[in-house]
Structure 1
Amino acid sequence: MTSFYPSQVIEYLYCPRYTYFEYVLRIPQNEEKYHKVQRGREVHDEKLEQNKNYLRKKIGVQQKWIDHYMGSPQLRGKVDEVLSLEDGSYAPLDYKFAVWKDRVFETYKQQLYCYALLIEETFGANVNKGFLVYTRSKHKLVEIPINQTSKNEVMESTEKMLEIIERNKFPKATTYKKRCLNCTYRNICIK
């Protein structure tokens, strides 16, 4: 069975054709060309190094695992930090090379939902929230609620992604046509 990285689930949710072009036709995105993606990866690595000995007492962290890779039949990925909290629950923490602008992007939430499922599978613990750290806003910490409905949507997405791959199924494009403007596949996609 194929398992997916959170970024692949996010791409699918952005437009199902990402899954088709990248995993059925095997046409890579070449996202390394984009400066923000590359810089984000560099800052991410720097922050992991700087925060290895830092426990977040104000959110009740009992224990943490840094840069923790996990896998399940549906998902796989590396979480910046897996936190064990005072109430017995666990939570993912993810660093973002971004400025806090009083709202959380849906892609950031989807990534946390994926991590929540991985943590529940790996640690056998309940995950009902996650945290984002905005590195370009003085490391602002934002708490994100994670409910079962959100986790179920991720699981449904992985099932639909598998169907596209296994059946070589060309899916409908996103209904949000503005997304097509910056798509790495816009030159080969049939509108």
Structure 2
Amino acid sequence: MQSFYPSQIIEYLYCPRYTYFEYVLRIPQYEDKFYKVNRGREVHNEKLERNKEYLRKKIGVKEKWLDQYLGTEGLRGKVDEVLKLNDGSYAPLDYKFAQWKDRVYETYKQQLYCYAILIEEVYGGKVEKGFLVYTRSKNKLVEVNIGENAKSEIRNSMDKMLEVIQGNKFPRATRVKKRCVNCTYRNICIK
């Protein structure tokens, strides 16, 4: 069975052709060249040493698990922190090497939705919210609601990704054409 990382699902939601180019034609993106990706990875490695305990107290954390690699049928990923809250529910917490700009990007939400599915299946508890920590804004903590519709959208996307891969199916491009400007596949993609 094919197993996806949250980043692969996010790419599919951004434009379904990412899945085709990377997993059917096997043309890699070479995203490691981008500074922000590499710096973000460094921050994830540094955060365990410097994380502020007050963030967890503010949230109401009963238990925590750091750097959890979780896998289920069809989905896998590494969650920065899995939190068990005082009310018995669970929540993912993810660190972002980014500044808070008064809004949560869809890609950040989608990543939390993926983590919610993983946590519910592995830990057996309910996930109704997640948290983001913006490391370039003095560790600003932002809460994100996670509803059943959001989790369903992720599961539906995983099914559609499998259709693309298993059926060797060339999907429609994103309808948001400005996304094509910075796409790593823009030179080979048929518009």
Q: How does 1:28-177 map to 2 (within 5 A)?
A: 28-51=28-51, 56-177=56-177
- TM-score of the two chains, using structure 2 as the length reference: 0.97
Q: Deviations over 1:93-114 (max 9, x none)?
A: 0000000011000000000000
Q: Runs of 5+ in structure 2 lacking a partner?
A: none
Percent identity of equivalent pairs: 75
Aligned residues of 1:10 and 1:111 also touching (Cα < 8 A): yes
Secondary structure of the equivalent of 1:3?
A: coil
Aligned residue for 2:16? 16
Spell out structure 1 runs of 4+ moving beyond 3 A.
52-55
In structure 2, distance between residues paired with 1:49 and 1:150: 32
In structure 1, distance between residues paired with 2:146 and 2:108: 12
Q: Deviations over 1:72-106 (max 9, x none)?
A: 11210000000000000000000000000110000
For residue 45 of structure 1, report the CA deviation from its aligned partner.
1.2
Aligned residues of 2:20 and 2:164 also touching (Cα < 8 A): yes
Aligned residues of 2:55 and 2:141 also touching (Cα < 8 A): no
- TM-score of the two chains, using structure 1 as the length reference: 0.97
Aligned residue for 1:5? 5
Q: Runs of 5+ in structure 1 lacking a partner?
A: none
Give, as a single letter, the amino acid of the residue that structure 1 aligns with 2:106: E
Corresponding pairs, count:
191
